């Protein structure tokens, strides 16, 4: 298979949103589905439902009530040895390598709490340390031959048009200058290409998350782009299309994140 549809989605509890996942998969037919914030222990994960959806291959890393990541695939893969970030086994990263040598990394970066000061807020300090570790890890692995894809809820909206109001969110966690600076370093660590902005360049607004607080999220459109898809430069020519699917965000009791869909043509890879 040369064509590959890849989806990243912070599902905000896979059991609470299972019917949404089933509906989305039936409509969009992803080949690889990367989930974040699954919020369930591995023993309680509804794996049978995903097998019914056609995903023969999977790797999951979960815990009760918090965090959790999963990768489901219709394509065979080899899972990568799990890595504990910042010395914590808090289920924030999984990686797989497809048969063509393409490696997919699925991340759930810490949200960082409410106070954007690492001295006053341990959660914010953890977030910055996590991004520093990501930067160092990819720098050490840098090679022009690498075929890497990085997806997930990175919990940073880096560009001015990745948020509904740059001025009003400058002091709000997810868009503060220190977080943007850290993300910029992570992007530079492997010359990552921002696949979403490859298709929707600035200054066009691009969001993937809308707060539950907004009564009519679509009308107010006070969004942020917290979900990302990055590729190493040699995969850039293989990018074919991208869509933030707004429909699931409008379903009953939705995740506050919308799925991000990226289509690849991997002909000649591997």
Q: Which CATH number fits domain 3-265: 3.60.10.10, 3.40.120.10, 3.40.1550.10, 3.40.50.300?
A: 3.60.10.10
pLDDT of residue 15: 98
Q: Considering only CA atoms, which of 94, 112, 113 is closest in space to residue 104? A: 94
Separation between Cα atoms, residue 225 and residue 157, nearest integer Å = 5
Instruction: Name the stretches of the chain with pLDDT < 50.
Output: none
Query: Please, what sign has the CA dihedral across residues 187, 192, 196, 201?
Result: positive
For the sheet with 93-98, list strands across it. Answer: 77-79, 93-98, 103-108, 148-153, 227-231, 193-194
Structure tokens at 233: 């430069």
Whole-structure pTM over 0.85, yes or no?
yes
Question: CA 112, CA 67: separation in Å to the nearest integer?
Answer: 13
Boundaries of every domain in the chain? 3-265
- What secondary structure does DSSP assign to 26-91, as a single string? HHH--SEEEEE---S-GGG--HHHHHHTT--EEEEE--SSS--EEEEESS-EEEPPP--BTTB---
pLDDT reported for residue 229: 99
- Neighbouring-strand partners of residue 88: 85
Q: Are 248 and 24 in contact (CB under 8 A)?
A: yes
């Amino acid at each position: 298979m040369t064509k590959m549809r890849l989806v990243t989605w912070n599902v905000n509890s896979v059991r609470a949103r299972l019917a949404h996942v089933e509906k989305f998969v039936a409509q969009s037919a992803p080949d690889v589905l990367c989930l974040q914030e699954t919020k369930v222990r591995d023993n309680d994960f509804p794996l049978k439902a995903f097998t019914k959806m056609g995903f023969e291959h999977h790797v999951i890393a979960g815990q009760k009530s918090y965090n959790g990541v999963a990768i489901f695939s219709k394509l065979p893969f080899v899972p990568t040895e799990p890595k504990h970030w910042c010395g914590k086994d808090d289920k924030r990263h999984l990686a797989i390598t497809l048969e063509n040598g393409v490696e997919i990394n699925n991340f759930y970066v810490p949200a960082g709490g409410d106070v954007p000061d690492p001295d006053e807020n341990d959660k914010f300090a953890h977030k910055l340390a996590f991004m520093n570790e990501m930067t160092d890890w990819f720098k050490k692995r840098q090679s022009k031959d690498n075929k890497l894809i990085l997806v997930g809820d990175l919990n940073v909206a880096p560009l001015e048009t990745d948020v509904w109001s740059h001025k009003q969110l400058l002091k709000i966690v997810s868009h503060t200058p220190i977080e943007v600076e850290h993300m910029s370093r992570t992007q530079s660590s492997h010359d990552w290409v921002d696949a979403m902005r490859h298709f929707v360049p600035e200054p066009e607004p691009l969001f993937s998350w809308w707060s539950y607080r907004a009564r009519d999220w679509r009308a107010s459109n006070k969004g942020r782009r917290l979900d990302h898809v990055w590729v190493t430069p040699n995969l850039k020519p293989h990018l074919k299309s991208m869509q933030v699917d707004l429909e699931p965000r409008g379903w009953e009791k939705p995740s506050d994140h919308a799925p991000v869909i990226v289509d690849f043509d991997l002909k000649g890879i591997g």
